[in-house]
Structure 1
């Protein structure tokens, strides 16, 4: 016996049909309706490429701050178009080709790799501040810094690079250079040697300057060992100062310098000669920087080969002293001066007031030199214990003495 089928009322079937159609339409709009609705999408940390950087070098320019830049981007489009965007195809560029001289430039960031169907709604940054500077090249000496103590009570008497280095970089960085050095560890060193040392540039604060190219960046350095000592100097002048003036004093600062050499050679020297200072036509005191020349085999330590020489020039003054005694010097054993014609003399001096004003009669001695004279009567010149440069005249200039 067949089962009875339940009949659905017509109005209920119509309701179900309408509901199904409504659900289908809703689902269609949910799936396809967003394809035409604009939405936004963020793309962050996109690297910004600086293009035509090589053109700067052709113009002797260089980036002051060669760092990495990144772009944060927001685009607007339909869901379908946004899905078609491939992240790795999005690029950002800043063109440097129009830069022709040093300065700071605000350059636009250009985004590439986006379809025309999407819109850039925001980007950060929109421009980059780019600073460029002139490229400078300079040839520079390398200073050698020593660390440690050599063996056997020796000292480093010379440590010099055998060549200069060429430094290239931004002008601002070049001007920051205070020194360019290489460091040699000489602790326990017992013999002369050659070392190959790394070179570094430093600013006045002692900080390395990193954006410079130094060629070569390793230099051969000869290191010589020996002994040292402090020696004085013998200054002199050449020429004549202006009329009515005289050279009254030559002062050297420092008064001594430190020199180094092999021990047997070092023992042969006590003073360093200074090339004569030209005073021709000079009318007043002057100071001159002098670079001393070390004798062969000797070295100046710690820049001690540089001194300041002051030549004092003054208008001379005259001053007379009356001496009541003339003595005899260098008499042979058993001899005496029994008689002298002139026992009082007037000594007239000419020189710097500072020198003459410091003298008194007790400091001045008049005498006759009796060296190798037999007993008898002699006319002898009267001399003094003062520098001949100070003595203008002695009155009388000669006197008669009797030796017994």
Structure 2
């Protein structure tokens, strides 16, 4: 080896030794430090057991705590509040006020140095239950015209268990999917169900059965199109019949499919068969790959029937 080569080798070797020594010191002799993490949410375990006993969480005197962790200084930048768990076991609580010890843990290599609260007071009340339809939806941040296409869902309804007040805040039970996870091809998914309020926020301390729902999903988009409803009225009797139907309908499908769809036609309805006011469901003839958008399932024709007076009937016969 030449003199120049030996110098380069020695420099490279020195750099390697220095880096190795730094890594060894940092990860073996790095001084411990204390870091405070604020507003860690308290989560409840044992809600299902509590519900099976006919109870639910009404409220607690605290919902969040501050936690101080002792950790290696080098790990400080990589640890967030999401890595800290604060739980309260409610499975065996009784009706009324209960004092519950909090269980706090941090990520591996850390220890809990201090917690702003050691216990909280939880109020337990009798639970109510309600069956609700399950919807599959995107988060509020998704485009307004985006809506998932869903097939083969294994559950249509879920049972919601909570106190009367919390149950009143539940607007719907939903499986929320990320639109970035979907494309034009249906794919199987299993998603956790959540109780949501009218603004799409999760209602806490609510038990939902089943906990998850499975289905096939694809990326879909909505479009408002014209609705055609053929009507037959060949009756020549003493009744006058009028009707109203929606003029448009909101459909969904892949971009390619809905761009080709300008209208939807319903099956013909013979209104001469009705002798009193009626609401008749519309039977839609949907092309392949076209689905009804959320909220469009109850499309009806309203039929109004009035019996003509003798004078009206005679006048009609004369003019006819």
- Normalising by structure 2, we get a TM-score of 0.48
The structure richer in strand per residue is 1
Higher helix share: 2
Comparing both chains, which one has the higher relative contact order based on Cα–Cα distances under 8 Å and sequence gaps of 6 or more?
A: 2
Larger Rg: 1
